[in-house]
Amino acid sequence: MLKNKKTITLICTAILAVAIINGQTVNAAISKTLSIFRAQDLKGVTVTIDDIQQIQSKLSSGQGEISLEKMGNIKVQGGQKKVSSKEDVKSITDVTVAFPSVLDGVVPSVNVVEPTAIEFTLKAENVNEIMKSYGATKLLPANIDGKTFKIDFASQVTMNYSINNKPITIMETKSPEITVPDDVDIDAVYDAVVEMPIIPQRLQSQLKSMKDWKSTLYIPVIESEMTEVNINGAKGYMSKDYGNSEENSESAVIWYDKGIIYVVSGQVDSEELLKIAKSVK
């Protein structure tokens, strides 16, 4: 059995990130050797609790002993977390921070995660062996071996408010930017990932039907637990009143607008949270 199932999840997530969190090619002059992608929209992929359980069950059945070191090299730069303030984050250059007008009279605690760059160089043969251990027949292209992929994350600003001793958290960041070597067939990578046998057939069908996956950030939307909402003309997704009891029930909403991803969550009912979200401008 695998020594660390989290390793598999990490690698699958990294590959999936390159395959799905993409965007349009920018600056043709520089993209002769590299393709640069950034998501321009946010959409949901419907996932059921049964889908999640199936994936967990199939992951636990994988064979072999492969370490992260054998699968490739990952290099992380930046990402330092620091305490900031509402005034200081106004000077951040890579993310234009917006604030909730309905909470103007409340002073939040603010944290900033500085820009982060993650480079990963896959050892294709080793990764394909793992995929085969889960029954995969369509594998990653051999020519991605030794190629370096890069994901750039912009600053992430988190503001923590308190209303009547109930926490409200607002997170803002840009969609990640993916840099892929130009001679890598990203469509072949995508096909290999979505046809992994660990992905339930119904979910595979959704992934295969996506025509805009190179310009859209897809997020898992739990069926019957999340609903589509409108935030000032931008499409978002809300999970309503989840929790163990009425006292600690929470709501959360995520949306994408003009290049920025917003997440608002807190121990308030969904209607109040939606009001806060719509005031973020």
Give SS3 for 193.
helix
The pair phi, psi for residue 134, each rounded to 5°, is: -105, 15
pLDDT for 217 beyond 70: yes
Q: Residue 178 has what pLDDT?
A: 85
Least confident of 4-13, 89-98, 138-147, 157-166: 4-13
Instruction: Assign 44 a pLDDT band (cuts: 50, 70, 90).
Output: confident
What is the amino acid identity at position 177?
A: E
- Please write the tens of the pLDDT for every residue from 2-42: 334 443 334 444 434 433 333 333 233 333 344 556 677 78
Average confidence (pLDDT) over 77-95: 95
Q: How many other C-beta atoms can be found within 10 angstroms of the C-beta atom of residue 57? A: 10
Least confident of 49-58, 227-236, 272-281: 49-58
Please state, in angstroms and rounded to a whole number, the distance separating the CA atoms of residues 49 and 45. 13
pLDDT for 57 beyond 60: yes
The side-by-side arrangement of strands in the sheet containing 109-113 is 81-84, 109-113, 156-163, 166-174, 260-266, 250-257, 234-242, 226-231
The top-scoring range by mean pLDDT among 164-178, 215-229, 240-254 is: 164-178
Instruction: Write the burial class of residue 199 (CB in 10 Å: 0-12 exposed, 13-18 middle, 19+ buried).
Output: buried
- Look at 242 and 65; give whichever has higher pLDDT: 242
Q: Residue 94 has what pLDDT?
A: 94
Q: Residue 222 has what pLDDT?
A: 78
Please state, in angstroms and rounded to a whole number, the distance separating the CA atoms of residues 39 and 53. 29
- Look at 84 and 61; give whichever has higher pLDDT: 84
| Mean pLDDT for all residues in the chain | 81
